[in-house]
């Protein structure tokens, strides 16, 4: 069953089309991440779902209830949707308990049981209820903002880049904690981000936007392995693009003949490989032994437990090309080493290439 349904949403500001005919379904209890570069329309889409903006046309429904269509729109405060902005937006003149209890009915004493429950839920000590926002760390402020959004038991949670201001290590731990919390509560969630690692790790469903349009949606693994175009491929991670000639289930390219998923494709095309599909071995292997090619390590980028090699190969037309090849940090071959580069898995043929 779908919790949220977006049908051909369109929003313009003057002559600028911010969101153009976006349709998307969110299964109940799922986590959907909307990604895209700045100006792609992802925040405008989120604000329309929240009720802060209204679509020019299209339809938004939540659990079968129409929130917005051509006939009108339900006000934001009546939608029972939680919203956590990028900076948390805590009220500086209220302490933690008052921030969390804001919007709950009754006097503060009557709210306290629910406030304590929410502090427990976001793993904050109940004694922190008397602190002020400026006395909290960035991670604690985001937990308070999340508790405030959860206070009214929302049907849907919207997260607008809530981890972007946090340090890298804290960002990862907060992301995991929030994902676990929302999953345990069974709350359908939308996260907006431009961080590829965050999107891939948080999402059940990934939706990629570009220039106001929904380019592709599906599971993170599906989009990572089978992007619709080169821009999407590169937005979701490092990728190697190569021209190839397709023939009888093989892509003939500078790395040799590589298997592809669609044996029916023939002719010229562009293929994509993820760097982790490239593997190195010491020395030179006879070219007929396995698909791959010989190369020389020109440089390396050492990062402790892993390393990225820059390996020069000679293309079929005699040029030199550098390939990014991952390696374990302690076993990485030194610059100048001759290596054999082999390929694991299938090459992805970019549609329309």
Q: Is 154 a residue whose pLDDT tops 80?
A: yes
* pLDDT value for 293: 87
CB 27 within 8 A of CB 2: yes
* pLDDT value for 215: 96
The contacts of residue 319 (CB under 8 Å, 6+ apart) are: none
DSSP conformational letter for 260 = B
Q: How far is CA 335 from CA 164, 238, 309, 320, in A?
A: 36, 22, 8, 16
Three-class SS of residue 322?
Answer: strand
Proportion of the chain above pLDDT 70, given as a percent: 96
Question: Taking Cα atoms as reference points, which of 350, 300, 348, 344 lies closest to residue 322?
Answer: 300
Q: How far apart are CA 19 and CA 43, in angstroms?
A: 10
Q: Between 79 and 122, name the one with better pLDDT.
A: 79
Tens of pLDDT, residues 314-344: 888 888 899 999 998 888 888 999 999 999 9
* pLDDT value for 57: 95
Q: Is 287 a residue whose pLDDT tops 70?
A: no
The architecture of the domain spanning 240-349 is Beta Barrel (2.40)
Q: Are strands 213-218 and 205-210 parallel, antiparallel or unpaired?
A: antiparallel
Contacts of 246-255 with CB under 8 Å at 24 or more apart are 246/349, 251/347, 251/349, 253/347, 254/293, 254/313, 254/315, 254/316, 254/321, 255/291, 255/292, 255/293, 255/313, 255/341, 255/343
Tens of pLDDT, residues 173-222: 778 888 888 888 889 999 998 888 889 989 999 999 999 999 999 999 99
Q: Same CATH fold, 240-349 and 2-235?
A: no
Beta bridge partners of 33: 191, 206
Three-class SS of residue 40?
Answer: coil
- For residues 345-350, give the mean pLDDT: 94
- Domain ranges for the chain: 2-235, 240-349
How many C-alpha atoms does 127 have within 13 Å on its Cβ side?
Answer: 0
The contacts of residue 17 (CB under 8 Å, 6+ apart) are: 10, 11, 212
Query: pTM for this structure?
Result: 0.85
- CATH assignment, 2-235: 3.40.50.300
Q: Is 265 a residue whose pLDDT tops 80?
A: yes
């Amino acid at each position: 069953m779908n919790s949220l349904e977006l049908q051909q949403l369109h929003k313009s500001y003057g002559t600028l089309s911010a969101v153009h005919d976006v349709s998307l379904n969110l299964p109940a209890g799922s986590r959907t991440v909307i990604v895209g570069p700045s100006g792609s329309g992802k925040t405008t889409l989120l604000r329309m779902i929240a009720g802060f903006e209204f679509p020019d046309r299209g339809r938004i429904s939540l659990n079968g209830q129409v929130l917005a269509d051509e006939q009108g729109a339900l006000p934001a405060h009546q939608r029972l949707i939680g919203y956590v902005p990028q900076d948390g937006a805590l009220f500086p003149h209220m302490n933690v308990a008052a921030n969390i209890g804001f919007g709950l009915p009754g006097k503060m004493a009557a709210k306290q049981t629910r406030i304590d429950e929410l502090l427990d839920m976001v793993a904050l000590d109940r004694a922190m209820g008397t602190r002020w926002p400026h006395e909290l760390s960035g991670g604690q402020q985001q937990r308070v903002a999340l508790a405030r959004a959860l206070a009214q038991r929302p049907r849907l949670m919207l997260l607008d880049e809530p981890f972007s201001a946090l340090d890298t290590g804290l960002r990862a731990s907060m992301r995991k904690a929030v994902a676990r919390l929302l999953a345990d509560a069974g709350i359908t969630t939308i996260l907006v981000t431009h961080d590829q690692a965050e999107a891939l790790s948080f999402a059940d469903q990934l939706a990629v936007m570009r220039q106001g349009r929904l380019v592709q949606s599906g599971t993170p693994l599906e989009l990572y392995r089978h992007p619709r175009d080169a821009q999407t491929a590169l937005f979701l991670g490092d990728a190697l693009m190569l021209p190839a000639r397709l023939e009888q289930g093989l892509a003939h390219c500078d790395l040799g003949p590589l298997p592809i998923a669609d044996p029916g494709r023939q002719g010229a095309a562009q293929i994509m490989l993820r760097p982790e599909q490239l593997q190195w071995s010491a020395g030179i292997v006879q070219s007929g032994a396995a698909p791959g090619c010989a190369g020389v390590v020109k440089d390396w980028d050492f990062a402790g437990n892993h390393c990225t090699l820059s390996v020069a190969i000679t293309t079929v037309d005699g040029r030199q090309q550098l390939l990014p090849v991952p390696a374990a940090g302690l076993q990485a071959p030194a610059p100048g080493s001759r290596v054999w580069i082999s390929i694991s898995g299938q090459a992805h043929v970019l549609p329309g290439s």
